[in-house]
Amino acid sequence: MRSRFWGGVHPAGRKELSADVPPTPCPPPKQVIIPLQQHIGKPCTPLVKAGDMVKMGQRIGDGEGMCAPVHASVSGRVRTVEACRHPSGFTCPAVVIENDGQDAYASELAPIADPASLDADGLIGRIHGAGIVGMGGATFPTDIKASIGKVETLIANACECEPYITADDALICSDADRAIGGLLLLRQILNPARTVIAIEDNKKNAIAALADRLKTRPEIELAVLPTRYPQGAEKQLIQVLTGRQVPSGGLPRDVGCAVFNIATCASIRRAVAEGEPLLRRIVTVTGRGVKEPKNLIVPIGTPISDVVAAAGGLTDDVWKVIAGGPMMGKAQPDLTAPVTKGVNAVVALTRAENGEAAHHSCIRCGKCVTVCPMGLQPLYLYRFSGCGDREMLRRYNILDCIECGCCAYACPGKLPIVAAIRTGKRLVKEGK
């Protein structure tokens, strides 16, 4: 049952900058910065201290409860454990490791030749041990997401609806077997009646690669969807594929669904079959602000400066550097923050790409209402956030906003609607 999601926009994809460039390894960084929080939940406690020697794959941070362990992505000496800049904008304790270049590897997880022999608990334990989180950007711990018993529909999200980003595209083109392998393991855990890989129709090569391999796997459905942002947002994708709406304040499991990013699937396969924790990911380095846009295989913790250097460096007219995509990513004040598990792209924009910065008045054109995929009225969220009216913000359901940015993208007044909504959300949460 296919349907359409509400609203949405169709920005210029700009994926041609980095599409069809096979992912290449990023040159080994001199040091990596491994934040102890790379997931939604409680931060890890460091398991190492300054001066310790660590091996690649070694667990260096872990914790109780909703927590995903972090691992050393290179071997070498721990220089310090201190507060560092996180790509999401806050500061967070991080283990800084000087790379000795040896790549001496030691994983707690033994490779498993026959993953089909594992039961659900065994698989979930592995996923947790490997520190896997949602790699599409939300960084929800994958083991917790997978621990919900049985679902009706299991969805692998390869939409990659954000403009510019081609990381999942590159992953599928280069590593489709691993991605599908991971999805099969999730099937083993969740026992779904229906398994879907969702992808947008602008990724022809990836679609061909998937279709070729799925010929012998009738249990997996390939859904090629018309390109439209934010198709890859969890709630919108579920709506498109099942026609069901995740209840306000609820979770996908409330409508019998579980959604995993396609890169997360590949990492699951790597962890279970090869015993390798989440040590690296594909990052698209792109935008007209970098000289050689490309897809890089980057060790987690590599400073953004190294990643940018590997793409030929920044141009002189660069205006903004974003961790993540241009619709939802976080603008970086400098290049010191590291690539974390959820950073799928580093996008350097020129001023022309960034667009006009002036803020005019709201002319009540209603475009924000038309494009909102959540059925909100962003113009009023903007207004009531401006005057700090908690009660009205709550009545206009501010907490349902997914911050996809469609409203501000479409706004002819170029109003900073999303920024205002974030402020408003904080107000409402504080006021409870």
Partner 1 sequence: MEFDVSSSPHIRSGDSTRRIMLDVLIALVPTLIAGTVIFGLRALAVAAVSVAAAVLGEWLWRLVTRQYNTVGDLSAAVTGLLLALTLPATVPYWAAAVGALFAVVVVKGCFGGLGQNIFNPALAARALLMLVIPAAMTRFAAPGTALPLTGAVDIASSATPLHHMVMPALPEVSLLDMFLGNTGGCIGEVSALALLIGGAYLVARDVIKLRIPVSYLGTVAVLTLLFPRGQDPLLWMAYSLLGGGVLLGALFMASDYATSPATPGGQVLYGVGCGALTVLFRYVGLYPEGVTYAVLLMNAASWLLERFTPTRLFGAPQRKGGLR
- Give me the phi and psi of 338, to 5 degrees please: -90, 165
Write the CB contacts of 40 (distance below 8 Å, at least 6 apart in sequence).
66, 133, 138, 139, 140, 141
Peptide bond into 326 cis (omega under 30): no
For residue 164, the SS3 value is coil
- Using the rule CB under 8 A, is 317 a contact of partner 1? no
Q: Give the footprint of partner 1 on residues 140-159 (CB under 8 A).
A: none
How wide is the angle at C-alpha 321 spanned by C-alphas 204 and 9, nearest 5°?
A: 45
Closest by CA position to 326, among listed 296, 286, 379, 382: 286
CB of 84 to partner 1, least distance (A): 17
Of the listed pieces 74-82, 257-265, 274-282, 330-338, which binds partner 1 according to CB under 8 A? 330-338
Give dist(CA 230, CA 253) in Å, integer: 20
Residue placing its CB nearer to partner 1 in the complex, 159 or 328 = 328
Please identify which residue in 157, 367, 382, 393 interacts with partner 1, judged by CB under 8 A. Answer: 367
- Using the rule CB under 8 A, is 285 a contact of partner 1? no
- Using the rule CB under 8 A, is 374 a contact of partner 1? yes
Closest by CA position to 396, among listed 366, 415, 375, 427: 375
CB of 325 to partner 1, least distance (A): 8
Residue placing its CB nearer to partner 1 in the complex, 81 or 327 = 327
Tell me the residue length of the chain: 432
Residue placing its CB nearer to partner 1 in the complex, 111 or 412 = 412
For residue 116, the SS3 value is helix
Please identify which residue in 419, 426, 429, 431 interacts with partner 1, judged by CB under 8 A. Answer: 419
- Draw the binding track, 103-132, toward partner 1 (x: CB under 8 A; -: no contact): ------------------------------
Please identify which residue in 119, 177, 365, 431 interacts with partner 1, judged by CB under 8 A. Answer: 365
Please identify which residue in 78, 124, 271, 314 interacts with partner 1, judged by CB under 8 A. Answer: 314
Give dist(CA 207, CA 173) in Å, integer: 9
Please identify which residue in 87, 275, 413, 424 interacts with partner 1, judged by CB under 8 A. Answer: 413
Please identify which residue in 218, 361, 387, 430 interacts with partner 1, judged by CB under 8 A. Answer: 361
**Sheet hosting strand 91-99, strand order edge to edge:** 31-35, 91-99, 76-85, 53-54
- Compute CA 352 distance to the chain's CA centroid, rounded to the nearest angstrom: 26
Give dist(CA 59, CA 394) in Å, integer: 42
Please identify which residue in 356, 387, 430, 432 interacts with partner 1, judged by CB under 8 A. Answer: 356
- Using the rule CB under 8 A, is 41 a contact of partner 1? no
Long-range contacts of 106-111 (CB under 8 A, 24+ apart): 106/55, 106/56, 106/57, 106/58, 107/57, 107/58, 107/275, 107/276, 107/277, 108/57, 108/59, 108/277, 109/271, 109/275, 109/276, 109/277, 110/275, 111/273, 111/274, 111/275
- Using the rule CB under 8 A, is 347 a contact of partner 1? yes
- Draw the binding track, 249-268, toward partner 1 (x: CB under 8 A; -: no contact): xx------------------
- Using the rule CB under 8 A, is 425 a contact of partner 1? no
Please identify which residue in 329, 338, 342, 424 interacts with partner 1, judged by CB under 8 A. Answer: 329
Q: 383 vs 181, 238, 369, 400, CA distance in Å?
A: 48, 31, 14, 17
- Give me the phi and psi of 431, to 5 degrees please: -75, -5
- Using the rule CB under 8 A, is 410 a contact of partner 1? yes
- Using the rule CB under 8 A, is 290 a contact of partner 1? no
- Give me the phi and psi of 252, to 5 degrees please: -55, -35
- Using the rule CB under 8 A, is 328 a contact of partner 1? yes
Q: Are 198 and 240 in contact (CB under 8 A)?
A: yes
- Using the rule CB under 8 A, is 393 a contact of partner 1? no
Number of residues that bind partner 1 (CB under 8 A): 70
- Using the rule CB under 8 A, is 165 a contact of partner 1? no
Please identify which residue in 204, 395, 426, 429 interacts with partner 1, judged by CB under 8 A. Answer: 395
What is the Cβ-side half-sphere exposure of residue 129, based on CA atoms within 13 angstroms?
A: 18
What is the Cβ-side half-sphere exposure of residue 51, based on CA atoms within 13 angstroms?
A: 0
For residue 9, the SS3 value is strand
Please identify which residue in 319, 389, 390, 425 interacts with partner 1, judged by CB under 8 A. Answer: 319
- Using the rule CB under 8 A, is 8 a contact of partner 1? no
Of the listed pieces 106-114, 147-155, 184-192, 374-382, which binds partner 1 according to CB under 8 A? 374-382
Of the listed pieces 8-16, 113-121, 206-214, 291-299, which binds partner 1 according to CB under 8 A? 8-16
Residues that bind partner 1 (CB under 8 A): 6, 9, 11-12, 163, 235, 239, 245-250, 314, 318-322, 326-335, 347, 349, 353-357, 360-367, 369-370, 372-377, 379, 395-397, 400, 403, 405, 408-414, 416, 418-419, 422
